[in-house]
Amino acid sequence: MPKTDGYKTRQKILEKAEDLFAEKGFNGTSIDMIAKAAGINKGLIYYHFKNKRDIMVSIFQNVIM
């Protein structure tokens, strides 16, 4: 099954968030920073995730699985 644009957007958010968390730390990274790095608007992040903590949990789940 081909990956959808929504899946690709979600993965891009996770990738950019992980980079920023590694560089600036969790508390030093804002949703605005993640959106800018991913080249999307902030609303799209909230479409895929409840909050910044939800992004971090998803990153950890990807690592574990």
* pLDDT value, residue 3: 62
> Is the Cβ–Cβ distance between 34 and 45 less than 8 Å?
yes
**Which is higher by pLDDT, 64 or 2?**
64
pLDDT digits (tens, 9 = 90+) for 11-61: 999 999 999 999 999 999 999 999 999 999 999 999 999 999 999 999 999
What average pLDDT does the segment 3-14 reach? Answer: 89
Predicted model pTM: 0.89
* Cα-based distances in Å from 16 to 1, 2, 51: 25, 22, 15
Q: Identify the band that residue 1 occupies on the pLDDT scale cut at 50, 70 and 90.
A: very low
